[in-house]
Structure 1
Amino acid sequence: MENSKIKKLFILPFIISIASMICLVWQYKVFKETIASKDAEIYQLERTIQEKEALLEEAKSELKECKFNLVYAESNNWNLRNKNMNLERQEVIRKREDFFNGN
């Protein structure tokens, strides 16, 4: 009878240690999967950042082009205003000449 109790006392720690090892293996597997999942998320975020940076560079390039076009349009606007003012002056001069010439 005592042998039976002694065997049970030795078997119980053995079963507990086996169960602990199984739990450790399971935890290792879960942690490994979690790390792999997080690595995949990080990779996806890095790709998203690279895509956003590429879009930002493209937008900066387009903005520079728009600024250039705006400066060009403003320059053309000033040129047209100057031409208009010159035409108005010429018209005033012509009217004065016509007035003094009797036309």
Structure 2
Amino acid sequence: MDICDKDNLPFPILDMLSFINQKGPLTEGVFRKSANIKSCRVLKKKLNSGVKVNPYSESVHVVASVFKDFLRNIQGSIFLSDLYDKWLSVIDHGNKEEKITAAQR
């Protein structure tokens, strides 16, 4: 199953990323604190049914939790725990271009 259409992320994902980018840095523990499970289920159900969702009407913790769940459930995800050390090794590369090349590998 492809997630991207013509190399573009789906609009609901882009909307969630935009919201997290705007509110997340100002929110303590945005990706660590638990979100309301019922709210997460409701948001996931809306997203999966194709209903237009306004992430700005949700808690940033709920949106972040649903986004993390989305990333976890991508088949063949690059965010698997067995790739953790490889991702960390990217930091050790010299300049920005070398880091980009290492991340692409």
TM-score scaled to structure 1, two decimals?
A: 0.18
- More RCO (CA 8 Å, sep 6+): 2
Q: Which has the higher helix share?
A: 1
Larger Rg: 1
